[in-house]
Structure 1
Amino acid sequence: MPARLFAARWSRWLERRIPPARQVRLDQRRIFILPTPQGLMFGVALLLMLLAAINYQNSLAYGLTFLLLSLGLVTILHTYRNLAGLVLAAGEAPPVFAGEQAGFRLRLQSSGRAHRGIALGWPPAPLQPVEIEADGSSEVELFLPARQRGWLRAPRLRVESRFPLGLLVAWSWVDLDLAALVYPRPQSGELPPAGGGVEDDEEPGMASTRSGVDDFQGLRPYQSGDSRRRLHWKAWSRGQGLLVKDFAELQGHDLWLDFDSLGGDREARLSLLCHWVVQLAGHEQPFGLRLPRVTRAPGSGALQRDLCLRELALFGLPANPAEGRP
């Protein structure tokens, strides 16, 4: 319990001292510095050397001790300066499916001097090293596992430097307000009739067909304007000419993906709908999406795919990533 209380207080203190921002410049308020284990051993060695010099009244021992002490003091300044002035800016985070790795792009920019031995990431995972030249910049992509749909908010990012001697570590915890949209994990399965083509009202039980992507009907000669995705390359390689795969789909009504027509729990339904959104959009087939309190009109292409996947990802969840902050 004391550990949780300390962690909560530490988090609130960081929120006040280093508030979330899409761009952060590291300065004295945002940088912390402490000795590393090697630095502690260096300090113990200096103390022993000083005691030996006092005991034997050896001027050379005094000189070596204070020379190494001055080196340690100068190292404090250089370690701090190597991190001070560094500008971190948030980039784009493309949407991913649950179970994949979400990538967060960052841009690190120098403010006049080179920054050596910089490392950043989310512990306990290994930090990613990066070098920034004077008046230059560098782009980094960091990854987090996307375990469930919705907004994935990245935790505070650790940025540190042990340059030049590794005796001290200067670090900061910055919140670049990074968030990636996570779609449901696609799960293949059959849609019920209410989710696909339906019978014509005028002729119950009958449904005509037209050119589409549902059922393979055979091969036909290539015609100008046919999609290259449907070319049958095996037939062409056998010298049978340029043939096109012919498909048929039900005609008469728009194709609707309906949440209420499916069985299973909510996440299973969303996964199945996600699979069919990807499949239908890949075949350029128009479709609409029906969710409780949400209806997306029929459309096709990448835009329809992205809009429907977003609705599935955020169904029943806060639409604003800031509302899901831990």
Structure 2
Amino acid sequence: MIAPLKPRWNRWLARRIPPAASVRLNRRRIFIIPSRVGATFLLALLLMLLAAINYQNSLAYGLTFLLASVFVVAILHTYRNLAGLILKAGSAPAVFVGESASFRVRLESSQRPHHAVSLGWPAVELQTQDVPGQGVCECQLNLPALQRGWLRPGRLRVESRFPLGVLVAWSWLDLDQQVLVYPRPLIGELPLSAGASDNQDEEGSRPHGQGADDYQGLKNYQPGDSKRRLHWKAYSRGQGLLVKDFASITGRDLHLDFEVLTGDVEARLSLLCYWVLQLSERQQPFALSLPGQILTADTGELHRDACLRALALFGRAA
């Protein structure tokens, strides 16, 4: 599309097809034009008509008008293949920078089946699905997550060339989907605040690298223990469910601090992201300090997700 016309096109689409988590395709939302095959077909019909006029051949006239009527009927069937189709946005789990974000789209048919329905974004290859009559199917679309924050894929293209391929019926839908992208984890030294580091120096231990806590051995599994700590080798030897036991080196909760780090913002956030994941896996209570935001010491999945969300959205518009 010509660049100067794109903003006006987007504004017109926003009025005609506003963003919604569920959209039903109807005559206001479906556009239809000849495909490349259809354009070639029309050109051939024009040449056939000129030949029929030139030679005044009744058989040529009949064949030309017969094929033209097939083209007109194909317009109706191509439109009907999309009309009535319902698209709903599915859940989209958070990912890290460098991974593929997965967007789920649910296709539903209230009456007739819909054949060879293709959907996707311009940057990726379209996926084709068949939706049974009064049935449901689900499609998973992937986009690369290149930067942290909210990933909003924009309008989704839905099209169909069924049944003859001479026409393409299509629509641009905004299912209001978004995925939260966390910073890419970066291995490095434990970024503790000055207060926490001084306290550890007095106790004679200063954590570096992986030394945030001390491996104590194995203990019997108790409800609530992290499943990531399960010792599967011991279980396979018939020793029952055992978990790895870690003890904190320090006598106080760890405090991850953005200000004590050096380097650019993205590198600092990546290092903090790595240690949020590591300490959460070990069930070590920790606090996180960012400029203008402090998350108090806690542990568990909710605390981990809150910290990762804060890192992902740091410095981003709401």
TM-score w.r.t. length of structure 1 = 0.86
Check 1:81–1:188 CA distance in 2 against 1; reply closer, same or farther (3 A cut).
same
Deviation at 1:150, TM superposition (A): 0.5
* Partner residue, 2:274: 275
How many positions carry a matched residue from both structures? 311
* Partner residue, 1:324: none
Deviation at 1:279, TM superposition (A): 0.8
Which deviates the most, 136-145 or 157-166? 136-145
* Partner residue, 2:189: 190
Deviation at 1:32, TM superposition (A): 0.9
C-alpha contact 1:53 1:59 (8 A) present in aligned 2 = yes
* Partner residue, 2:31: 32
Check 1:37–1:276 CA distance in 2 against 1; reply closer, same or farther (3 A cut).
same
Counting only pairs closer than 5 Å after superposition, residues 1-326 of structure 1 correspond to structure 2 as 3-194=2-193, 198-200=197-199, 205-206=202-203, 214-216=212-214, 219=217, 222-223=219-220, 225=222, 229=229, 231=231, 233=233, 247-319=246-318
C-alpha contact 1:199 1:207 (8 A) present in aligned 2 = no
C-alpha contact 1:119 1:128 (8 A) present in aligned 2 = yes
Which deviates the most, 246-255 or 225-234? 225-234
Classify the secondary structure of the residue corresponding to 2:202. Answer: coil
Check 1:264–1:63 CA distance in 2 against 1; reply closer, same or farther (3 A cut).
same
Deviation at 1:46, TM superposition (A): 1.2
Classify the secondary structure of the residue corresponding to 1:165. Answer: coil
Structure 2 residue ranges without an equivalent (≥5): none
Query: 2: CA distance between counterparts of 1:70 and 1:235?
Result: 72
Deviation at 1:244, TM superposition (A): 7.2
Query: 1: CA distance between counterparts of 2:261 and 2:115?
Result: 56
Amino acid at match of 2:119: L
C-alpha contact 1:114 1:132 (8 A) present in aligned 2 = yes
Percent identity, please: 58
Amino acid at match of 2:145: A
Check 1:232–1:104 CA distance in 2 against 1; reply closer, same or farther (3 A cut).
closer
* 1:15-56 Cα deviation digits (max 9, x unpaired): 111111111111111111111111111111111222222222
Amino acid at match of 1:206: E
Check 1:244–1:19 CA distance in 2 against 1; reply closer, same or farther (3 A cut).
closer
* 1:204-231 Cα deviation digits (max 9, x unpaired): 712589xxx83545657x4564877264
- Name segments (4+ residues, structure 1) moved above 3 Å: 195-201, 213-220, 222-228, 230-237, 239-248
Deviation at 1:117, TM superposition (A): 1.1
C-alpha contact 1:196 1:255 (8 A) present in aligned 2 = no
Query: 2: CA distance between counterparts of 1:235 and 1:107?
Result: 40
Deviation at 1:199, TM superposition (A): 4.6
Query: 2: CA distance between counterparts of 1:118 and 1:165?
Result: 14
RMSD after superposition: 2.9
Deviation at 1:57, TM superposition (A): 2.2
Check 1:153–1:223 CA distance in 2 against 1; reply closer, same or farther (3 A cut).
closer
Deviation at 1:124, TM superposition (A): 4.1
Query: 1: CA distance between counterparts of 2:196 and 2:241?
Result: 31
Structure 1 residue ranges without an equivalent (≥5): 320-326
Which deviates the most, 5-14 or 143-152? 5-14
Query: 1: CA distance between counterparts of 2:104 and 2:120?
Result: 12
TM-score w.r.t. length of structure 2 = 0.88
Deviation at 1:266, TM superposition (A): 1.3
Deviation at 1:81, TM superposition (A): 0.7
Check 1:113–1:306 CA distance in 2 against 1; reply closer, same or farther (3 A cut).
same
Amino acid at match of 2:202: G
Query: 1: CA distance between counterparts of 2:107 and 2:188?
Result: 45
